[in-house]
């Protein structure tokens, strides 16, 4: 009875207006995040330059995770005949408005939903996506690209980014562990085991690095695994490993969110160890990191292993 009454109200003019208001409200909320991406001029200009280098007059382009549609509009300006802009968040409604305001709505076809479920009417010359998280893989970009290569891309087509690698270094961040035994005069130690079995978005300073960064993995498939060894450069307390990405958009254009990077919309991913431990200059620290498409993560620092699945910690 209540369901039928709700359905009936939804079909009235006032019900449709309310639905539209709710949809617009969700779009505005998600836009607050996407605004930070637009305001990161280093990121946006690098993608614009890559699109201008790659897209040719008459090309067909797929923009996966299009957000506000800015990359789709760059592709139109570069000469694309058709752009399929795929987005599963409500911000796609703002993207439609922006495309119309800029005169591109006749060339951009918006598709609401996940690219994994999308069907395009034609193969594309170029796939472009900016779905990198703080460590590169935590927004499932590897699986997204693997699917797009098989489902959307023409033979000999181009993907932006063309290569992705994860870079890491051991760090000293004593404040991370110090906050969990007690806060506000209360005992928070029971949550500590959960906290150290998660990776965290942190803005790491260069001064916190304990060794020269090294590449842990070059990613070309959803399942990624890598390792690295570092020689510690000073006596310190090891807190964990910081991981970031370097994305090669074209052979001559790359972006990286290393500590204190000019890219402002990303931090780094911090993979903690259970408790800080003393390390000395000249000591070698080894770490391994593996993930399946940014969903399940396992990291080992020397002999200690941590793992998390979809943000839920798992003790091993």
User: Catalytic residues, which ones?
Assistant: 130, 139
In contact, 41 and 63? CB cutoff 8 Å: no
DSSP H/E element including 108: strand 108-112
For residue 207, what are the CA distances in angstroms to 91, 109, 223, 231, 272? 38, 47, 32, 16, 17
Structure tokens at 119: 């069907």
For residue 238, what are the CA distances in angstroms to 171, 175, 176, 209, 283? 6, 12, 11, 10, 11
20 burial level (CB within 10 Å; 0-12, 13-18, 19+): exposed
Partnered with residue 308 across adjacent β-strands are 297, 313
For residue 86, what are the CA distances in angstroms to 48, 91, 210, 294, 311? 18, 11, 41, 20, 25
In contact, 93 and 123? CB cutoff 8 Å: no
Partnered with residue 209 across adjacent β-strands are 171
Distance (Å, rounded) from C-alpha 228 to C-alpha 215? 7
- SS3 call for 294: coil
In contact, 225 and 289? CB cutoff 8 Å: yes
In contact, 150 and 115? CB cutoff 8 Å: no
Report which of 46, 36, 92, 97 is spatially closest to residue 67, judged by C-alpha positions: 92
Distance (Å, rounded) from C-alpha 313 to C-alpha 169? 22
DSSP-assigned letter for residue 209: B
């Amino acid at each position: 009875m209540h369901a039928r009454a709700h359905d009936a109200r939804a079909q009235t003019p006032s019900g449709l207006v309310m639905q539209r208001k709710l949809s617009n409200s969700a779009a505005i909320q998600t836009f607050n995040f996407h605004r930070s991406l637009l305001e990161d001029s280093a990121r946006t200009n690098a993608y614009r330059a890559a699109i201008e280098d790659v897209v040719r007059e008459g090309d067909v382009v797929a923009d996966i995770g299009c957000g506000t549609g800015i990359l789709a509009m760059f592709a139109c300006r570069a000469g694309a005949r058709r752009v399929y802009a795929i987005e599963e968040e409500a911000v796609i409604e703002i993207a439609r408005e922006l495309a119309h305001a800029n005169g591109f709505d006749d060339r951009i076809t918006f598709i609401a939903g996940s690219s994994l479920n999308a069907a395009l009417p034609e193969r594309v010359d170029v796939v472009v996506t900016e779905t990198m998280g703080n460590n590169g893989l935590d927004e499932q970009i590897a699986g997204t690209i693997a699917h797009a290569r098989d489902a959307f891309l023409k033979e000999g087509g181009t993907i932006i980014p063309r290569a992705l690698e994860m870079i890491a270094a051991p760090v000293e961040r004593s404040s991370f562990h110090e906050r969990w035994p007690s806060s506000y005069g209360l005992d928070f130690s029971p949550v500590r085991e959960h906290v150290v079995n998660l990776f965290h978005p942190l803005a790491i300073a260069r001064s916190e690095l304990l060794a020269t960064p090294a590449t842990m993995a070059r990613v070309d498939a959803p399942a990624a695994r890598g390792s690295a060894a570092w020689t510690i450069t000073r006596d310190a307390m090891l807190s964990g490993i910081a991981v970031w990405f370097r994305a090669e958009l074209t052979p001559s254009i790359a972006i990286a969110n290393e500590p204190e990077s000019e890219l402002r919309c990303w931090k780094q991913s911090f993979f903690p160890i259970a408790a800080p431990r003393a390390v000395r200059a000249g000591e070698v620290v080894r770490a391994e990191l593996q993930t399946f498409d940014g969903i399940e993560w396992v990291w080992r620092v020397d002999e200690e292993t941590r793992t998390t699945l979809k943000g839920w910690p798992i003790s091993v």
